[in-house]
A and B are shown apart, each in its own frame.
Chain A
Amino acid sequence: MLRFALLFTALFMAFSPARAQAAPKEADIEAYRALVALDQG
């Protein structure tokens, strides 16, 4: 299980865009909500 978690962490890191310290963008917030909508499916 931990191994899986580590894998995810690595993958997330790999695809995490470089970020500036700014307020979350509305488009990003919507993207996160869309992602969680898939959890429901």
Chain B
Amino acid sequence: MITAGYRLAKANAPFCKNKWRNPGWVLHSYQQYPDRDTARAAFDFPLPVAIAALVEGGPADQAGLRTGESFSDLPGGIWWGADPVRHKPSFALVDIVNIRVNALFDGGQAVGLLVRGKPGEAERRVTIEPPAICASYFIISSNGQDDAGADGQYVRVSAALAQYTPDADEFAAIVAHELAHNILEHRKRLDAMNVQRGIGRMFGKSKKAFLQTEMEADQLSVWLMVNAGYDPAAAVRFWQRRGPDKDKGLFSDGTHMGWRDRIKILQAEIEHIQTLNQNRLPHEPPLLAKM
């Protein structure tokens, strides 16, 4: 997830209005898992929040950080608190650390972090200077669903959907679609329009607004992919498999286009990109020229 997300967000940074400095890691906490004891057994957490994954060659990797390590001196301090007696899975701690770290990087300079590794290992200080890239956190959810989403800040792909994709390019197609929603600020736009969620999204003005955002996300996704060096045709391949599979499913809520229409939209964009000089990357996506 972070490998694909970081690559897409970095390659397209020149066209993103909202950027933040991304160290190229995913953080996790044992508190986010259904069973925190299993999580603790699976990963030795030196502190309640630790690095789950790192982009190979990314800023955190280059700074010498490793998965499993934690930060022990974030500004303002973090009061981890005791684990609640009754466990309720929560991303709250990860959220807090993400916000703190983001604030730390906001200054635009190199940042020193005190890092704690395995129990018994001495703490050490690392310096990290991540570049500003398209703003989004990238996470895998294990909600049992076969879906993906974007809320303006997070790009989320479910474990089931990630496993459905046979290669990195098709997986990147899903991440690119969701990242496109965040880059285009669709959540904000839909909220401003007072668009109905829930059952109301299937009708009238709300349905039209949803379909518009979905079309834009598809259009932008292939540009993001090409700029990041992914094969944009993978988005088409994904729908050629997924569409017929989905048709066997229960019902469509009508807020996404049919898969055949989506393939046509994707192909039209790919043809547009093919008319451009491929030696001059990145291409400015027409949808972002206006932003």
Contact = CB atoms under 8 A, between A and B. Distances in A.
Do A and B pair up? The answer is yes
Interface stretch (B14-22, B137-145, B203-211): B137-145
B88 A41 contact: no
Interface stretch (B28-36, B70-78, B218-226): B28-36
B90 A5 contact: yes
A39 B139 contact: yes
Interface size class of A (residues with CB under 8 A): 20 to 34
Interface of B: 1-4, 26, 28, 32-35, 37-43, 52-54, 88-92, 95, 139-145, 151, 153-154, 156, 159, 162-163, 168, 171
A16 B89 contact: yes
A24 B38 contact: yes
A17 B34 contact: yes
A37 to B, nearest CB: 8
Contacts of B4: 41
A39 B26 contact: yes
Contact of B1 (A17, A29, A39): A39
Interface in A1-41: 1-5, 8-9, 11-17, 19, 23-25, 28-30, 32-33, 35-36, 38-41
Contacts of A38: 1, 140, 159, 162-163
B89 A40 contact: no
A16 B88 CA distance: 10
